[in-house]
A and B are shown apart, each in its own frame.
Chain A
Amino acid sequence: MGANDTATMTSVVGQSVLRKEDARFLTGTGQYTDDVSMPRQTYAYFLRSPHAHANIDSIDVAKAKQSPGVVDIFTGADLQGVNGLPCGWLITGTDGKPMNEPPHPVLAQGKVRYVGDAVALVIAESPAQAKDAAEQIVVDYDVLPSAVDSLDALADGAPQIHEQAPGNRCYTWALGDKAAVDAAFANAAHVTKIDIVNNRLIPNAIEPRAALAHYDRANDEYTLYVANQNPHVERLLMTAFVLGLPEHKVRVIAPDVGGGFGSKIYLYPEETAMVFASKKIHRPIKWAAERSESFLSDAHGRDHVTHAELALDKDGKFLAMRVHTTANMGAYLSTFASCIPTILYATLLAGQYTTPAIYCEVAAAFTNTAPVDAYRGAGRPEATYVVERIVSQAAMEMGIAQDEIRRRNFVREFPYQTPVALNYDIGDYEQTLDAAMEMADVAGFPARKAEAQKRGKLRGLGYAAYIEACGLAPSNIAGALGARAGLFEAGQVRVHPTGSVTVFTGSHSHGQGHETTFAQIVAGRLGVPVENVSVVHGDTGRIPFGMGTYGSRSLAVGGTAIVKALDKIVAKGKKIAAHLLEAAESDIEFRDGKFTVAGTDRSKAFAEIALSAYVPHNYPLGTLEPGLDETAFYDPTNFTYPAGTHICEVEIDPDTGVVDVVAFSACDDFGNIINPMIVEGQVHGGVAQGLGQALREQCVYDRDSGQLLTGSLMDYALPRADDVPSFNVATKVTPCTHNPLGAKGCGEAGAIGAPAAMMNAVMDALAPVGVTHFDMPASPYRVWNAIRAAHGHA
């Protein structure tokens, strides 16, 4: 038993209760998709395009079909009548027209548009036989010129990737008051300008994508196990939009999922083709991506090219900001691709500041690369990086201290309406800045810098005061902005006759620890032990509905749906208790697991009420149904706004360009916290991913051939244990004003704050040698080159 296992019922919320899910993960008994097997299962292998852009003149599968163990082979020609994969968000451009939305075929239809585009599905008795057979497929490609860079793709004369998207443009979109921004710039005392690239990333959850599709002829039903973050949405999109199957005849199960970070939100071609094929061959089909396939075919993240300008008055007050971003969509629109560089990006450009006028224009380009979609933070890290880099640079140019320029511009009165659509309900940015500065020992920094200098090293300190918008947000407003899905969450609380509880949540846990956090909410409210609460997630066959987990929404939206269901349980419990205690319902109080007649010692324990609900011998059957099982759907009234300050300290060896992250301090305001241990873990992981982006990670496609050069873990540098320090994390609390938990969300904060904090630290360290800016990642090569360039070497 851990020290925290004995947390009392009433105080269980806010305690670092050890995780219920850990026992299975630690003993090798977790059930990830590839761990599930079915009798008579076959194995899938996807033949993928080796070219970035090519017409397919012919595909010959005859020889491959004779290969040992082959069960069947499907190509685009076999999928006639199957629709393309849909995009879940319609962006309307500045021209008033809907975005260009070319088809996204499940298997290539006459043309391939990126290296890794799926061309054929080979099904065999073993994975090796499927792979062997794929080598026998003869595809005659007519190779076309390609464009992998978003600016190249939008340039005149670029190869045309889709007929339906002239000039490879998906949309040009804008937000904000351009005239007001222009006027403010005309009167500015100082203007800071910056050109920045937000480097393209490959998510790399450690569990590669996987699926197991089965068609049950007896009941005309499909079952799909898939490593996915939102099984209900997966099912809805696959059945209603692509395959034309009855939704109720398809069960999607996302069992234990080994990390997502956004990359498993989407409906992908592979599982769609497998569900289709499972009925054709009448046998289960299993597929587990190899890591190389993940690199090629998982949705990538970021990839923004931005020019930003900040107008300031003589005291460093922000007057206006002007931003132009070109965003790479990849070859096809992934499920939420279109809303990332728009709705989830430009709306965050106010940051923590009172900048009165902001204008942002976004050009979205199709390229011959893997689709790009949400990756941990999704638009908000990109926005924070623009804001915090330009603020930091402005402070350096104007000779204002980094904390001071931020303090002069903080939003201090709430609610606060930004000029970019969001309405911040609450926050205290000075509080998190002050705490982070204390944690980072900013006062002691000059001495550390001087000491480093004696050793020939350059030290720097960097700040990022970030804000994010989480818990995506009223469905009707999102709908008006182009969302094609709702953004509520469902929760069901089933109280069993003995008083134990099963919770069914539409949120999905792939590392977040919902089985513990949600159990704590129920235990705290009903007064039952955490051990008596089970949480079920990731199964359309057991859960009423769900929108899944992304955008740090699980607690604020999914948790609130559970609270709403608990409200109904307690309300019904009061009616039952009133009957049993022969009292008025209005006199019944529920506290510490007991229903009590106010002002008396007459009470019924929660378990007694549960038993009465299922053994209704003494029960108001005329007015109340038996049973104690309630469902709630919760649609939030606003985003939540987690915010905080991250401070990074680096030491750079100017001779080698190696950046050593020596300290990282994060003080975040996530609102109320249910399990501090889990929240701290989320921050640690997010910060490591953010440092990964700033320090190491970089997706590279060859500009001429369109080949993915960073196609393995030997070429793409994920942060390793010795790349990052131990982190110093703390929280402050201003409770969210519009959900009953007062919770804001914590999953993405680290990935949002860390890149800007680290790069600001790098620029602070390199300021003495004349370097003001270069793009992430701060690899030794880039740092060394930046120092050389500042010294006048080409």
Chain B
Amino acid sequence: MAVSLAMTVNGKPVNADVDPRTLLVEFLRNNLGLTGTHVGCDTAQCGACTVHVDGNAVKSCNVLAVQAQGANVLTIEGLIAEDGTMHPMQAAFRDCHGLQCGFCTPGMVMSAIDLVNRHPGADEATIRAELEGNLCRCTGYHNIVKAVRQAAAVMGK
């Protein structure tokens, strides 16, 4: 009872037959080998699995793969330019030491990009409120907030 799935992931078309209960995050990690998207919880609380579906940040552990049928999915692996240049958000996280163990980082970066897209001039309070759905246990959020502000300044140009 596998279902046929077709979507675009990081700009490339992908097709697969999957068990209908397959989550989008399982499809990305297990079928496509895109292990940069992580699973940190089972209640859609931690945000480590955040990816973009049709431009919106989505917790991919909370979406069936079939729900992304025909969608355009962007993961952390798809952010870097062909010449190796990091997205301004990735660069800002590095420059501001916005990551430690790195496990929440892909989801945090994907959420942060979405938040800056929606709130280009976000202040600290807005950034903190908008990142409420992404847990980090290492950084105390201080440098993440700093990184998002720095990236927002670059992305706004």
User: Which residues of chain A have a CB within 8 Å of any CB of chain B?
Assistant: 2-3, 16, 18-19, 21-32, 34-35, 128, 204-208, 256-259, 261, 288, 290-292, 510-513, 677-678, 680-681, 684-689, 712-714, 718, 720-722, 724, 726-727, 750
Contact = CB atoms under 8 A, between A and B. Distances in A.
Nearest to A288: B39
A205 B95 contact: no
A205 B80 contact: no
Contacts of A30: 36, 102-103
B75 interface: yes
A128 B19 contact: yes
B93 interface: yes
8 contacts: A26-B86, A27-B79, A128-B21, A207-B40, A259-B137, A720-B132, A721-B129, A726-B124
Given A22-B99, A27-B90, A721-B127, A712 B45 contact: yes
B50 interface: no
Contacts of A722: 125, 128-129, 131-132
B129 to A, nearest CB: 5
Given A721-B131, A724-B141, 12 more contacts: A26-B86, A32-B38, A34-B38, A35-B35, A259-B138, A685-B100, A685-B139, A721-B136, A722-B125, A722-B128, A724-B140, A727-B140
Interface stretch (B1-9, B64-72, B104-112): B104-112
Nearest to B129: A722
B6 to A, nearest CB: 22
Contacts, number: 179
A427 to B, nearest CB: 25
A726 B140 CA distance: 8
B46 A19 contact: no
Contacts of A22: 93-94, 99, 102
Interface string B119-136: 000001101110110111
B154 interface: no
Q: Which among B43, B77, B132 has the greatest number of chain A C-beta atoms within 10 A?
A: B43
A718 to B, nearest CB: 5
A721 B146 CA distance: 12
Given A26-B86, A292-B42, A722-B132, A207 B101 contact: yes
A19 B38 contact: no
A257 B138 CA distance: 12
A19 B99 CA distance: 10
A716 to B, nearest CB: 10
Contacts of A512: 100
Contacts of B155: none
Given A713-B46, A718-B137, A26 B105 contact: yes
B58 interface: no
A722 B115 CA distance: 15
Nearest to A260: B101
Nearest to B35: A35
Nearest to A293: B42
B73 interface: no
Given A258-B101, A684-B143, A721-B128, A290 B42 contact: yes
Contact of A721 (B93, B106, B144): B144
Given A26-B94, A721-B141, A511 B79 contact: no
Contacts of B76: 26-28
B145 A726 contact: yes
B99 A27 contact: no
Contacts of B125: 722
State the 9 A-B residue pairs at the shortest beta-carbon distance, nearest first: A28-B36, A258-B103, A25-B102, A688-B140, A511-B101, A511-B100, A713-B45, A684-B140, A28-B76
A724 B129 CA distance: 11
Nearest to A711: B43
Nearest to A729: B142
A492 to B, nearest CB: 24
Nearest to A3: B95
Interface of B: 19, 21, 29, 34-43, 45-46, 48, 75-77, 79-80, 86, 90, 93-95, 97, 99-106, 109, 124-125, 127-129, 131-132, 134-145
Contacts of A261: 137
A261 B129 CA distance: 26
B127 A205 contact: no
A714 B141 contact: no
A689 to B, nearest CB: 7
B106 A291 contact: no
Contacts of A511: 100-102, 138
A722 B142 CA distance: 11
Given A22-B93, A721-B128, A727-B142, A259 B42 contact: no
B137 A28 contact: no
A2 B75 CA distance: 25
Contacts of A19: 94, 97
A206 B39 CA distance: 9
Contacts of A2: 94-95
A287 to B, nearest CB: 13
Contacts of A724: 140-141
A731 to B, nearest CB: 15
Contacts of A23: 94
Contact of A726 (B97, B106, B131, B142): B142
A62 B149 CA distance: 58
Nearest to B135: A718
A681 B79 contact: no
A128 B21 CA distance: 9
Contacts of B34: 28
B1 to A, nearest CB: 12
A722 B144 CA distance: 12
A26 B78 CA distance: 11
Contacts of B138: 206, 259, 511, 681, 685
Nearest to B141: A721
A513 B99 CA distance: 10
Given A22-B99, A291-B46, A511-B102, A681 B75 contact: no
Contacts of A727: 140, 142
Contacts of A205: 101, 103, 137
A714 B42 CA distance: 10
A513 B132 contact: no
A296 to B, nearest CB: 12
Nearest to A258: B103
Given A712-B43, A721-B141, A513 B48 contact: no
A23 B102 CA distance: 10
Given A26-B90, A27-B76, A721-B145, A678 B97 contact: yes
Q: Which among B95, B103, B106 has the greatest number of chain A C-beta atoms within 10 A?
A: B103
A290 B105 CA distance: 19
Contacts of A257: 101
B61 to A, nearest CB: 10
Contact of A713 (B19, B36, B41, B128): B41
Nearest to B79: A27
A359 B120 CA distance: 58
Contact of B36 (A27, A204, A288, A510): A27
Q: Which among A714, A722, A750 has the greatest number of chain B C-beta atoms within 10 A?
A: A722
A713 B139 contact: no
Q: Which among B34, B42, B80, B129 has the greatest number of chain A C-beta atoms within 10 A?
A: B42
B103 A713 contact: no
Q: Which among A128, A257, A291 has the greatest number of chain B C-beta atoms within 10 A?
A: A291
A656 to B, nearest CB: 18
Contacts of B100: 259, 511-513, 681, 685
Given A28-B75, A512-B100, A206 B135 contact: yes
A257 B137 CA distance: 13
Contacts of A714: 43, 45
A510 B36 CA distance: 16
B99 A26 contact: yes
B97 A206 contact: no
Contacts of B41: 208, 291, 712-713
A724 B135 CA distance: 12
Nearest to B87: A26
Contacts of A34: 35, 38-39
